[in-house]
Structure 1
Amino acid sequence: MGKLYLGHELTPGSRLLRPLRDSSGHVLLQTGTILTERYLELIEQWGLQDALLLAQRPSEARIYDHVTRTHIIDAVLQTTIIDQLADIFNNITSEKALPIATLRNSAALLVREIVAHKHVALDLSALRNLDEKTFTHSLSVAVFAIASGVELGLQEPVLMELAMGALLHDLGKTKVSPAILNKPSHLSVAEREIIQQHPRWGVELLRERGYQTSNVLLGIYEHHERCDGSGYPLGSSDTQISQIGKITAVADFYDALTSNRAYRPAVAPHLVVEELIANSLTLFNPDTVWAFIRSLALYPVGSIVLLDNGERGEVIGYDREMPNRPRVLVTRDTADRELEIPFEYDLMQQLNRFIIKVESAT
């Protein structure tokens, strides 16, 4: 059992027993969130330091269920979709017939596979091993988006449109110079203005080919829009952005930041999750952010991970509400020597420990 505390009375390691909401009822932090120093700073920034919160302090007992298994998307289906995307992207400006219909069939299989495993978190680690990064990103965004849509209760016809929009969201980049796309330093103002046209160009390219499905085109057009109006190409705000656009935006943001880019290395997943939560009242829709967080295995069970102190271990489970803080069975010490007696970290309790790298996936 928890108690009611004022926001400023809580300490790192406290666990929320009810969602933290703003004055409009939007969920800022979900039930089960373990409060780190960063989350406590956000509570103060949100002006909720004097709000009454039902929570448990670290010394109070708590019980929660861990996810102990995940699902990997069928490898043949992954490769098929990658090949179909390559065909479309490479031939969009030619007169060659595009396999849009066959991609739609593959997207239907992808949707059905994710729906069939909706009670098991999805493991995308295998995608990181595929060679074609551009199309791997598109597939990853589609899987993230579909899984988030399932969490939000979307029906299969809408999930299909969401999937197609996510798979084709970067199609407009075929009109951007590779020198800009692969530039290893910051873009100039002029280059940034060119990049910011790619959602518009993607829609135009499909319309020129006779493709008119509105929700698919919305996913492409709105995946860089932000709820506070700071996005592009239109600078639309919260109520002007479709649900499909909001879902695709979160999926694209996460996968882009956790992937290596020419101008920066990949950011650790737990840091990107915290960034999403921190921006869930400004850049992103909070319900969409939490649906995303609940749906996927950020650190799949069975993964070998490197901790910030140099120890290594295997992920053995995690709380579905906080997948960025799993349980890790430590098997090697800081000098990479095998331990005679392994021991466990529960990163929801050990707040001074965190994963810096996945060394091998399941």
Structure 2
Amino acid sequence: MRLVPVHLLQPGMVLGKKIYNADGLILLSDGVKLTSSLINRLTDLKLGYVYIEDAATEDIVIPQLISEESRLSAVRSIQASFKNLENQSSLKGSFLHLGKTFSGVVDSVLDEVSSMEVSMVLLTDINASDYNLYQHSLNVCLYTMVLGLSYGYSRNQLYMLSLGALLHDIGKTRVPASIVQKPGRLTDAEFAEMRKHTEIGYDILKNEPNIPLLSAHCAFQHHERLDGSGYPRGIQGQDIHEFAKWIAITDSYDAMTTQRVYQPAKLPHEAVELMYTGSGTLYEQSFLAIFRDRVAIYPPGITVMLSTGESGVVSRIHARIPHRPVVRVLNNPKGEPLRTPYEMDLSQCLSVMICGIGEAVYA
């Protein structure tokens, strides 16, 4: 299976992974043979890449942090609870169901992620057609959970951190949908309204008996930045709780790597590079370094150009050194297909570098 730019799709190619819409519903199933009309539809959705099956990469497995069944179940739980909040006319009173519902989601996901031999921040939604609050909340939870595990938090700390990550944007349920779902840049007035979601989220969560106060502070502080340029309070450095510093990183990363109507999804290496411009000013430098070391910046299936002039597809990633994956070399320096493709382990071939994301392989 390989990751192919939509503009290079051709009729007859077979879809390797399902494509979802903003509500998590399947638009196109895996195994579907693409036609010109289906390719036009994918182009209209403004998707950047899709997974395609082909003979040269049929054994390449695209890893997942959690199973598709677990993801769908979690998203449905998030969606039901968030929609319930959206439909309530007042926030007075208690929301005891929040703690029960989301504790179950976090415990289930934490068990699954913890059981993996080695967990990494793996690209999740490149096959989704648009940003979605429910998918985003789960993605940020998963990514933050991986970082928390790597950092060595206890089970209780992981639970509070992961619950805070899952609920970091719950305040958006009380911001007008016309603003949250606007397919374009917000006006100054709209952005001022959007910024209120941090305080609203904190107000929803802070007095819930089944929600730890630290988790509520994740909703409150996840847009604060080290240099004081964040919101809602503009606090700096050590005044920001470390849980919120983790979520600031994962929230930004997921926003960058998720397809938007007004902004194409960035590939992981592009997002990480952009985030590093804020190292030490926006994001905690030591946390960002851990994040970098846990991100599969060249996901399996993506085509890469090597410093040797050869090109191929990432076939496997090393958990401890994800920036040095195993590459299945398919083309020689002239761009000609090799009669016998071979695997090059960049963790061993230290003189060879990935120098770009290639498209020539598909031409």
Structure 2 counterpart of 1:231: 230
Instruction: Quote the Cα distance in structure 2 between the aligned partners of 1:192 and 1:333.
Output: 50
Give the letter for the 2:214 counterpart.
N
Equivalent residue number for residue 77 of structure 1: 70
2:356 to 348, 354, 357: 354
Where 1:122 maps in the other structure, the secondary structure is coil
Q: Secondary structure at the match of 2:314?
A: strand
Tell me by how many angstroms 1:218 deviates.
Answer: 1.0
Letter in 2 for 1:89: F
The 1:88/1:335 distance shift into structure 2, 3 A limit, reads farther
1:177-256 equivalences under 5 Å are 177-207=176-206, 213-256=212-255
CA distance in 2, matches of 1:97, 1:155: 25
Q: 1:204 to 1:336 in 2, by over 3 A?
A: farther
Report how far residue 146 of structure 1 moved.
Answer: 0.9
1:232-285, Cα deviation, whole Å (9 max, x unpaired): 111111110001100111110111111112221111211221223332211111
CA contact (8 A) 1:182 1:262 kept: no
Question: What is the CA–CA distance in structure 2 between the aligned matches of 1:335 and 1:261, rounded to whole Å?
Answer: 36
SS at 2:338's partner residue? strand
Q: Distance in 1 between matches of 2:73 and 2:251?
A: 21
1:182 is displaced (CA, Å) by: 3.2
Q: Which runs of 5+ in 2 are unaligned?
A: 1-60, 89-94
**Counterpart of 2:85?**
92
C-alpha distance in 1, partners of 2:358/2:236?
34
CA shift, 1:345, in A, is: 7.8
Which deviates more, 126-135 or 178-187?
126-135
Does residue 102 of structure 1 match 2:95?
Answer: no
The within-5 A match list for 1:48-63 is none
- Quote how far apart the aligned CAs of 1:352 are: 6.1
Residue 268, structure 1, aligned to residue 270, structure 2: no
Change (3 A) 1:116 1:349: same
Code of the residue aligned with 1:271 in structure 2: it is E
1:105–1:185 Cα change, 3 Å = closer
* C-alpha spacing 1:114/1:295, structure 2 compared with 1 (3 Å): farther
Give, as a single letter, the amino acid of the residue that structure 1 aligns with 2:71.
Q
* Among candidates 273, 282, 304, match of residue 307 of structure 1: 304
Distance 1:226 1:218, change over 3 A: same
How high is the TM-score relative to the length of structure 1?
A: 0.69
Match of 1:10 in 2: none
Q: Give the secondary structure class of the aligned counterpart of 2:156.
A: helix
Deviations 1:149-181 (A, max 9, x none): 111111111111111111111111122233323
Residue identity opposite 1:134 in structure 2: L
What secondary structure sits across from 2:302 in the alignment? strand
Alpha-carbon separation, structure 2, partners of 1:349 and 1:278: 27
Q: Write the letter of the residue equivalent to 2:118.
A: V
Structure 2 counterpart SS, 1:185? coil
Tell me, yes or no, if the aligned pair for 2:99 and 2:210 is still in contact at 8 Å: no
Partner of 2:118: 120
State the superposition RMSD in angstroms: 3.3
> In the TM superposition, what is the alpha-carbon distance from 1:205 to its structure 2 partner?
2.7
When residues 105 and 289 of structure 1 are mapped into structure 2, their CA distance, relative to the original with a 3 A threshold, is: same
Contact map agreement 2:221 2:244 (CA 8 A) in 1: yes
Q: Distance in 1 between matches of 2:102 and 2:118?
A: 25
User: Contact (CA 8 Å) 1:304, 1:313: kept in 2 or not?
Assistant: no
Deviation of 1:127 after TM superposition, in Å, equals 4.9
The aligned counterpart of 1:169 is 168
Q: CA deviation at 1:190?
A: 1.3
Alignment coverage as a number of residue pairs = 288
Is contact 2:325–2:346 with CA below 8 Å preserved after alignment? yes
Deviations 1:285-326 (A, max 9, x none): 1221122223343444xx221336998633234454552453
Equivalent residue, structure 2, for 1:281: 280
Distance 1:169 1:311 in 2: 44
For residues 207 and 128 of structure 2, the distance between their equivalents in structure 1, rounded to whole angstroms, comes to 31
Distance 2:212 2:311 in 1: 48
Q: Deviations over 1:16-54 (max 9, x none)?
A: xxxxxxxxxxxxxxxxxxxxxxxxxxxxxxxxxxxxxxx
Distance 1:123 1:273 in 2: 12
Check conservation: 1:124, 1:140, Cα contact below 8 A. no
Percent identity of equivalent pairs:
28
| CA 71–305 in structure 1, closer or farther in 2 if over 3 Å, else same | closer
**Does 2:154 correspond to 1:155?**
yes
How far apart, CA to CA, are the structure 2 residues paired with 1:255 and 1:334?
34
Task: Give the AA of the match of 2:303.
Answer: L
The structure-2 alpha-carbon separation of the partners of 1:187 and 1:123, relative to structure 1 and needing over 3 Å to count, comes to: closer
Displacement of 1:215 after TM fit? 0.8
Contact 1:223/1:246, CA 8 A, preserved across alignment: yes
Gap change, CA 1:100 and 1:325, over 3 Å in 2: same
What is the CA–CA distance in structure 2 between the aligned matches of 1:214 and 1:236, rounded to whole Å? 18
2:305–2:312: 8 Å Cα contact kept in structure 1? no
Which sits farther off after the overlay, 87-96 or 343-352?
343-352
